[in-house]
Structures are given as C-alpha cells and as structure tokens.
Amino acid sequence: MSPAQALATAEKPRDGGLQVLRERGQREVFCGLTGIVWLHRKMQDAFFLVVGSRTCAHLLQSAAGVMIFAEPRFATAIIEERDLAGMADCHAELDRVVDRLLARRPEIRTLFLVGSCPSEVIKLDLGNAAQRIGARHLRSETGEGVRILAYSGSGIETTFTEGEDACLTTLVPEMPVQAADAPPSLLMVGALPDIVEDQFLRAFAELGIANVGVLPARRAGALPAIGPNTRYILAQPFLGETARALEDRGAVRIDAPFPFGAEGTAAWLTAAALAFWIDEMHINRVIAPGRERAKRSLERYIPALKGKRITFLPDSQLEIPLARFLATELGMIPVEVGTPYLHRAHLAADLAQLPEGTRISEGQDVERQLDRVRADRPDLTVCGLGLANPLEAEGLATKWSIELVFSPVHGFDQAGDLAELFARPLRRRDVMRI
Amino acid sequence: MQLAVWTYEGPPHVGAMRVATAMRGVHYLLHAPQGDTYADLLFTMIERRDARPPVTYTTFQARDLGKDTASLFQNAARDAVERFKPQALLVGASCTAELIQDDPAGLANNMGLPCPVIPLELPSYQRKENWGAAETFYQIVRHLADTSVRPAAREGRRPCVNLLGPAALGFRHRDDVREVRRILDLLGIDVHLVAPQGASPEDIRTIGAADFNIVLYPEIGDEAARWLDKTFAQPAIRTVPIGVGATRAFIAEVAALAGVDPAPALNDPSSRMPWWSRSVDSTYLTGKRVFVFGDATHAVAAARIAHEELGFTVCGIGCYNREFGREIRNAAKEYGLEPLITDDHLAVEDAIAAAAPELVLGTQMERHIAKRLGIPCAVISSPVHVQDFPARFSPQMGFEGANVIFDTWVHPLVMGLEEHLLTMFRDDFEFSDAAGPSHLHGSAPAHNAMQAQMQAKPEPVLAPAGDILIREEAAPVAASGGSSGWTDEATRELHKIPFFVRGKAKRNTEKYANEMGLAAITLDTLYEAKAHYAR
Ligand code: SF4
Ligand code: SF4
C-alpha cells in the first residue's frame, strides 16, 4: 500500500461496524503517575513532585527502578497523619516542601505538582497551590521564574499513559501565542525518545516543512508558539485531552495512522507533508530510503511472526496501532486487542486496517480477560509485569508491555527493533531445551 | 508531609500482601484504585513468583466516588470468593480507600460469605510495610487459632515448634527456613508449622499444638508470638540465628527449652566459617571499616558478625524501621557509635560518605549509595532486588548461612593475595587499573550487560520496572587526581596508590588540605594527610 492509499483508508474509518467489548471490573494497570518515569527524562529542566501517599512513592520506585540516579527529578511529598488530622495545614506543608526542593535544585525551571488519589479525595487543590507558590518563586534577579503547574496522575482519574496526556494538557496554555500572520507550522505531539524525535525532525526538514515544534519541548523555555496556523500531528495515541486543548487554541489535527513500522511511519510522514501542500513525488522521494530500510529490517522477522496469534491486554493505548503494525506489516493475527480507552477518532486510521474479526476490548475485567486468554491460547500475549510470569508459568509466551513504552519503537529506523521485541520471546522458546 | 525519593518500605497493605501471598488458601480483597495493582509486580518480577498474588483490587474510579464504591466492594468480594474459594478472606483498604471510609470490614461481614472474614485496619498514613505484615499475621492468627488446641502429652513424642515470620518477598526467607529445619532435625525437634510461609488457614487453626515458637523474623512474627504466649502459654525463642555465635546461642536456647541435647547441632561439621575466618588469608580483613544499615534485626546480626567473627571495625550502624530502634540503639552503644535510625536514604548516604567505610552492608538502597561512592557493598537486608533472590540455596541463618555470609561479604573486598599483587605489580603494563579487581567483573552480570547495551545505544531512554534497564554512573574511585590544587607530582603519586583505596586517599588529602588551609596539595601534603588519618 502506498502512503497515499494508507491515508485514503484512514479517511474512511470502518465506523459502526466496529464491535467493541466493553468491560468494567478489576483493572490491572498502572496509574498516570507512571508517566513521570519517562517525562522527567524528557523534560530536562522539569521536576515532578507527586503529592500523595507512601503507595504513590512506592509505585514510582517499583515502576521506575532508576534508583541509579542519585537524585532523579521526581519525588513524592508523602501526606501524613498530621496533615489529614488538620494539625498541619496541608497547603503550608506543601509550600515548605516546595521551598526546600527549589532551594536545593536551582536549575529547575518547571515544577509539576502531580495530584494523586489521596490528594484528590481530600480535595487538595493543587492548581490553586501552583498559582500561589508560582507567585512566590518568580526569580527576580534573572526575571525568570519557576513555572509551577499542576496535573493529576491519580489512579482514579488516569490510566498509565493518560498521565502524559494530563501533563501535556497543562503545558498547552503555557505555549506562546503565534502571530496571526505566522507562516504555517507543524507541531509534533507526544514524548518520544530524543533519538526518535531527532529522526522525525530531520525527516520533516527534508520534506520541506520549515517550522516544526515539539510538545513536550526538552526545555521549559523552548515551548513552541501555537495558533490557528498550527497543524499538529500526534506521535502517541493516548493524547486525547492534549489534542482538545490544542484545538482550543486553534491548532488543527493532521489525521494519520501512528508511526510504527515502514507503512505506519510512511503514512504518518506523508500525512504531515500533505498538510503542508508538499508535492507527492517529493514526499515519496524523501521517504523511500527510510521506508525501504524499515521494510528490509522487518523482512527478517516475517518468518518468525507470520501467522502467529497475538493478544494485547490493556495497558498503554498503544495496543491498536501496534496490532495494526504487526498484522499488516508482519502478518501476525491479532486475537484480542485490549485497550484501557479507545479514542476512535485518533485511532481511526489504524482501526480501519485491523483484520476483520479482531476482538477489540475496552476497559478491563482482568479475571475474565485471563479466562479468554486461556481459551484463546495465543502464541504471544502482551501484558503488564504483574501478569507476565504467571502466564508464562501457564505455558503462554508473553511480552511485557512496559518495554513498548520505554524503548525507542517509533519510526523507520526502529521498525526492526520493534519487531524484535515481539520475536524475541518466541525465538527464546524455540532455542531453549530446558 | 515528608519528601521522599526512594523508600525502604512500602505502605502497610504491601506488608499484608506479603503475608497473604506467602500463605495458601487465603485471599485478600483490597479496596484500592487501579494504580495500586503495581504491587503485584513486586512478587511476580522481583521475587519471580509464578502465580499472581492472591489479591483482588476493587479498582474504583473517580466516577464511583460518593456513589457506589461500597457495592463495588461487595461485588468484588462475591466474585473473589466464588472464583478463588478461599478458606479465609482478608479485607482491607489502601491509602485512598482509607480516606473514603467505606468500612470494608462491616461490608464484608454483612454479606454472609462462606468463609471467615478477617478485617485488616492498616493506617496507611502512619504505618509502613513491616508493621502491616506483622499486624496482618497477628490478625490471622488471632482470628483463626483454635484456642482449645494444645500440645499432645509430651511422653513418647519429639518436641515440636512453630517457625514464625517467613513471608513473601523476604530476604532469603525460603532458604533460612530450610536451614533452620535442618538444625531442628539434628536436635530431634519437629516443626509443627511454618507461618505465614506455606501455611493454610487450617494449619493456623492448630497453631496451639506446638510446644513453643521460634520467631525467625521479629519484624513480622513477634506480634503474633506475643499473643500466642499470652493465649497458649507458648514461649518464644527470639534469638535470631544469623552468624556463628548467634546460631550457637540459638541452638543452646532451643535445646534447653525442648529438653534435648544441643551437641548434634553444635558439632555440625558443615560450619566452615570459623576456620575460613581464622585462616591466614583472612588476616587482611582485620580492622576493615564497615557501615551497617538495614532492618534492625539484620543490621544487629550483621554488626555482630562483622565485629566478632570477621574482625572488622563497625564504623556505622542503623536501621530504617523505627519500631525496632531500641535494638539498634543498644547495639550502637556496644560499638561506641551514634545509631542512625531513619528512613531517609539521603541521610543514610550522607552518613556513609562521612564514615568513609571500606565495606557497606545494607539494602539495595545502600548498594546504590555504595556504588556511587565507589565502596564495595554486600546486601544483608530487605528491601532487595531481583538478583538477591538467587536460584541456589543461600541462607543467612544457621552455620550454612554463616558460610554464605563469609563468601558474600569478603567477595567484594579485594582478596588478600590480589591486594598484594596489585600493589607489587601496579606499574606492570599488564596490570592496568582499568581492569579492576578480576572478581568484580562477574558480580552483576545483568547490570554489566545492560551497561554495555546502554553504551552501544545512543539513547538509553528509560528503565522499565524491576529495573531491567539502568544507566550506571561510573564509580568515582577510578577517576582521581588532577583536580585543582593538586600539583603534578602529587597527582602522579596519587596514581601510584592502588585504585581501591585511591578515592579515599584523595578525599582524605583534600579534606586535610582544606582543614589546614593549604592552597596546593603537594607530595608532602599527601603523606601528611596519610599520617594524620592513619589508624
Ligand atoms: S493509584 Fe492512586 S494511590 Fe495508587 S499509586 Fe496511583 S495515584 Fe497513588
Ligand atoms: S539497579 Fe540493580 S540493584 Fe538497583 S534496584 Fe535495580 S536491580 Fe536492584
């Protein structure tokens, strides 16, 4: 399929006909706090302060496992009994903690106060706190302040990657206003590993798109301007609220499948370029080498993956585009594709390419879902860390979903790495005699 | 509010999970939001368990609040009991559910469930993981123990005991139990039950049938043991057999209480640690300065071994669990030290840096601290990570435990012979510093492999859970000299000092120069400082 064709399918989503199994029961997923683990690496002058409980701190520690960093740019202000009993005014306590933190880390330009379930249940207004504290931390000597923002990563509001969505949403109002007569600009949205981000920026430059901004920017001062002349393209499928906020500021979304594999990336880059009226011949010329390289890197994996059945348990919302990639580019057969939340509009292009008969499920009832996995017996199950070893022990091969979020997997030059992540557990089973 | 980056202990409901997961036939219904399910991975990834913890989370969401979180809880209880058919159901709240005050105990009790319900009240904003485990185990015992069960008449049978405390995610609990069972077997004593590890509610019912209890892990088992003493007049052995001396004392106490001859266990020929420690190669261990930090029980035991059985000098001691602070204070007094009782790892890091030990004995936290400071380290206590759940048998308790401890603590130190060789041949081109001590290379294969991968990849990005990917900072020890203030001559001399003490020499010299107000560090300064700090 040419990128233009891919785009064409993208334009007529298989609506209505889509059967979605909706479930509500026990969910086995991280909360939105987890996003801090990659966001703090991405935004190099930002600090994330969770206002929560010991559980929140323990979650971050267990999910992050980056203890190697002496002082990572995140921490938890643990609410204690005396805060709850009103013996200590929560706001005064928070001010104290923040002051200490900022005194210790003068290089911090943006501080995110991250809400948790406990802070929300006790109705601790962090937005308010952010304004109050922000006013005090204008660094007058330099005229430069510390920007204090607040968002919720709580488990009662957000699931895993929705934490990033909430974080980026708070950055949107901070973006400068684009001049009314500004030339059209492109905004790439979603945290990507630097290496992938740079590849995409190079590709946009070669395509001839002159003004390209990235959200989140690596440094707080570098937030791109935004306005009605902005076209934005999502690099991650879980950014529903961010998209809405961008649209409130006049930006217009470029519809595209997500940039996984040779075809996904080709279609994604093409969609961006077409939005800037770039000549199709030129587009094909620019992307052909990368696309060919990606295809070649995928060919190696086809023998191992073709015809293999795969189930995704809900986790990061990357499930639909990844299933699309595995099905159309590697010949895998998606059995069930679970996602915590299905954003139909943003995923239309990928949904349209899923093979007929793919079972799509939204939400979760983990016990029932595991019953289905046991009945389906897929060749590979993509699941969270809590479920992987137990499923392996039942004889089912698994791939940890978290690696898909943490590793560079987008774009042409990561296509082979992405396929490798799925092929390795299967290959391992083939080579082992134990 | 307490500012925390890393924590030694999780919340108390994680302690409850450690007990539930260790047992058979119980299920834990936890009123909690979805993110709290992360705790499963502690067991399935870090401890490599092949089954999910027996925990159902209600995973209520914001839209349920103020409406029907209570019915959500009851539905979850019904489903869990039907699906898992537990012999007992633990019910409780995590930190968030504690705030919405649904009263899990009342809700579950009103349902007429076909199994006993054990409510857990674990105050998340005051207490922590170890306390949660102890309280949970105590509640289980209190609810399930049949108070009419007593030991059979003593005539014509071997004495029998309960082993209390081993739980899931415990540091070497699996192997400690096996080793202690071996000791008891040598003494002719039967084990009535081990709990929580491996015990079912039905087993717990008969807990009163043992003659006495052995509390292997006071942090988890002591509260229950006290209740058992009160209720059944079951005495408890509280000497924890970690180290040769402690193991001997343990054997003597157990034998006395059981009325058996201690000799078969005391004369165990597999106790090799005393000879290993006396043999000449170990001479170089004398006076090595060690810093000890962990849970109180393990820290106290480690300090005693270090001091009495290896001839080290204990230069710092502390624990993160305040509940057992008294034990640490007593031990600290013995070594003439200020006890460090804190769960703030930054304070621990500062204390370690200030003490400048040659070996750190600690948890995974101290391992990271030690790595950053370039000091050898061995792990002696929870919290620990995946590589501290070894496949092989490697207890801490008993004589075999002492053998294991000898090997693991001495290993990170440069071996006696190697130390001399390095000094003698340090100018030999084949003995490049960069090689480092040969035995350290294999010590953390997972990490080294990861490091290699990281270096190969331009963008290491992020680390998935169970910290499969990490980025290491190079240990600062190897990088030394040349800093401002050092004359060339002094720098060259500094490089002649073996790398494993070079960091310390450099720090001491700079500190000395600083205190003396010297602008330049010359050859003389180096040796003045050496004399100044000589022990
Ligand atoms: S689910 Fe809520 S309480 Fe649990 S770790 Fe996430 S934010 Fe904290
Ligand atoms: S980096 Fe290694 S030692 Fe540290 S927490 Fe992870 S596995 Fe444990």
Residue-by-residue pLDDT tens, chain A, 434 positions: 444 433 333 334 444 567 899 998 999 999 999 999 899 989 989 999 999 999 999 999 888 764 445 568 999 999 999 888 876 788 899 999 999 899 888 889 999 999 999 999 999 999 999 999 988 877 555 556 899 999 999 999 999 999 999 999 999 999 999 999 999 999 999 999 999 999 999 999 999 999 999 999 998 788 999 999 999 999 999 999 999 999 999 999 999 999 999 999 999 999 999 999 999 999 999 999 999 999 999 999 999 999 999 999 999 999 999 999 999 999 999 999 999 999 999 999 999 999 999 999 999 999 999 999 999 999 999 999 999 999 999 999 999 998 898 889 999 999 999 999 999 999 998 888 88
Q: Is residue A205 within 8 angstroms of chain B, CB to CB?
A: no
B33/A75 touch (CB, cutoff 8 Å), yes or no? no
> Residue B467 is nearest to which of A30, A65, A70, comparing CB atoms?
A65
Q: Is residue B17 within 8 angstroms of chain A, CB to CB?
A: no
Largest CA distance in chain A: 69
- Scan residues 33-62 of B and list those with Cβ closer than 8 Å to A: 33-42, 44-45, 48-52, 56-62
**Are the C-beta atoms of B346 and B5 separated by less than 8 Å?**
yes
Peptide bond into B383 cis (omega under 30): yes
For the residues of B126-168, what is the DSSP string, one character each? T--HHHHHHHHHHHHHHHH--TT--PPPSTTS--EEEEE---T
Q: Please state, in angstroms and as integers, the Cα–Cα distance from residue B116 to each residue in A330, B79, B112, B316, following that order.
A: 52, 16, 9, 47
pLDDT, residue A142, reads: 54
**Are the C-beta atoms of A319 and A337 separated by less than 8 Å?**
yes
pLDDT, residue B511, reads: 86
> Residue B462 is nearest to which of A38, A61, A81, comparing CB atoms?
A38
Q: Is residue A342 within 8 angstroms of chain B, CB to CB?
A: no
Locate B524 and state its tokens: 């003389």
Q: Write out the H or E segment, with its range, that includes residue A241.
A: helix A240-248
Residues linked to residue A111 through DSSP beta bridges, in sequence order: A47, A148
Ligand 2 center–CA B469 separation, angstroms: 9
Looking at CA atoms only, how far is residue A13 from chain B in angstroms? 30
Instruction: Point out the residues of chain B with pLDDT beneath 70.
Output: 414-484, 498-500, 534-535
> Residue A385 is nearest to which of B44, B124, B372, comparing CB atoms?
B44
Work out whether the CA dihedral A373, A377, A383, A385 comes out positive or negative. positive
All residues at 6 or more sequence positions from A93 whose CB lies less than 8 Å from its CB, including other chains: A77, A83, B1
Ligand 1 center–CA A110 separation, angstroms: 23
- Scan residues 108-127 of A and list those with Cβ closer than 8 Å to B: 117-118, 120-122
Contact list, A75 vs chain B (CB under 8 Å): 3-5
Atom of ligand 2 nearest to the CA of B467: 6
- Indicate the burial class of B468 (C-beta count within 10 angstroms; 0-12, 13-18, 19 or more): middle
pLDDT, residue A403, reads: 87
Ligand 1 center–CA A126 separation, angstroms: 16
**Distance between CA atoms of B294 and B364, rounded to whole angstroms?**
9
Q: Cβ < 6 Å from ligand 2: which residues?
A: A 65, 67-68; B 364, 367-368, 385-386, 447, 467, 470
How many interface pairs between A and B have CB atoms less than 8 angstroms apart?
240
Q: Tell whether ligand 1 has an atom less than 6 A from the beta carbon of residue A117.
A: yes
Residue nearest to atom 5 of ligand 1 (CA): A56
Over the stretch B173-197, which tens digit does the pLDDT of each residue have?
999 999 999 999 999 999 999 999 9
Locate A213 and state its tokens: 């901004």
At residue A211, the 3 state secondary structure works out as coil
Work out whether the CA dihedral B251, B255, B260, B261 comes out positive or negative. positive
* Ligand nearest to C-alpha B379: 2
Contact list, B128 vs chain A (CB under 8 Å): 54
Residue nearest to atom 6 of ligand 2 (CA): B467
Q: Tell whether ligand 1 has an atom less than 6 A from the beta carbon of residue A50.
A: no
Mutate which of B21, B55, B69, B96 to test chain A, going by most A C-beta atoms within 10 A? B96
Contact list, B4 vs chain A (CB under 8 Å): 54, 57, 75-78
Q: Is residue A395 within 8 angstroms of chain B, CB to CB?
A: no
Peptide bond into A237 cis (omega under 30): no
B95/A159 touch (CB, cutoff 8 Å), yes or no? no
**Distance between CA atoms of B410 and B311, rounded to whole angstroms?**
12
B40/A387 touch (CB, cutoff 8 Å), yes or no? yes
Q: Is residue A351 within 8 angstroms of chain B, CB to CB?
A: no
Contact list, B461 vs chain A (CB under 8 Å): 38, 41, 193, 406-408
Contact list, B124 vs chain A (CB under 8 Å): 53-55
A385/B125 touch (CB, cutoff 8 Å), yes or no? no
Atom of ligand 2 nearest to the CA of B444: 2
Q: Is residue A387 within 8 angstroms of chain B, CB to CB?
A: yes
Q: Write out the H or E segment, with its range, that includes residue A399.
A: strand A398-400
pTM higher than the cut 0.90: no
The chain-wide mean pLDDT, for chain B, equals 87
B11/A55 touch (CB, cutoff 8 Å), yes or no? yes
A37/B462 touch (CB, cutoff 8 Å), yes or no? yes
Ligand 2 center–CA B177 separation, angstroms: 25
pLDDT, residue A65, reads: 63
Looking at CA atoms only, how far is residue A386 from chain B in angstroms? 4
Q: Tell whether ligand 1 has an atom less than 6 A from the beta carbon of residue B219.
A: no
Locate A303 and state its tokens: 């023998």
Q: Which amino acid is at B204?
A: I
DSSP 8-state secondary structure symbol assigned to residue A94 = H
Ligand 1 center–CA A364 separation, angstroms: 18
Active site residues of B: 281
- Scan residues 193-222 of B and list those with Cβ closer than 8 Å to A: none
Q: Tell whether ligand 1 has an atom less than 6 A from the beta carbon of residue A111.
A: no
**Distance between CA atoms of B371 and B256, rounded to whole angstroms?**
45
Please identify which residue in the block is written with the tokens 């909706």. Answer: A22
Contact list, B371 vs chain A (CB under 8 Å): 68
pLDDT, residue B101, reads: 86
All residues at 6 or more sequence positions from A124 whose CB lies less than 8 Å from its CB, including other chains: A51, A90, A91, A94, A115
Contact list, A41 vs chain B (CB under 8 Å): 461-462
Radius of gyration of chain B (CA): 26
Looking at CA atoms only, how far is residue A342 from chain B in angstroms? 17
Q: Tell whether ligand 1 has an atom less than 6 A from the beta carbon of residue A326.
A: no
B35/A88 touch (CB, cutoff 8 Å), yes or no? no
**Are the C-beta atoms of B52 and B44 separated by less than 8 Å?**
yes
Looking at CA atoms only, how far is residue B94 from chain A in angstroms? 8
What percent of chain B shows pLDDT beyond 90?
69
ipTM given for this complex? 0.91
B1/A93 touch (CB, cutoff 8 Å), yes or no? yes
Atom of ligand 1 nearest to the CA of A52: 8
At residue A425, the 3 state secondary structure works out as helix
Atom of ligand 1 nearest to the CA of A117: 2
Over the stretch B205-247, which tens digit does the pLDDT of each residue have?
999 999 999 999 999 999 999 999 999 999 999 999 999 999 9
**Are the C-beta atoms of A422 and A398 separated by less than 8 Å?**
no
Contact list, A157 vs chain B (CB under 8 Å): 61-62
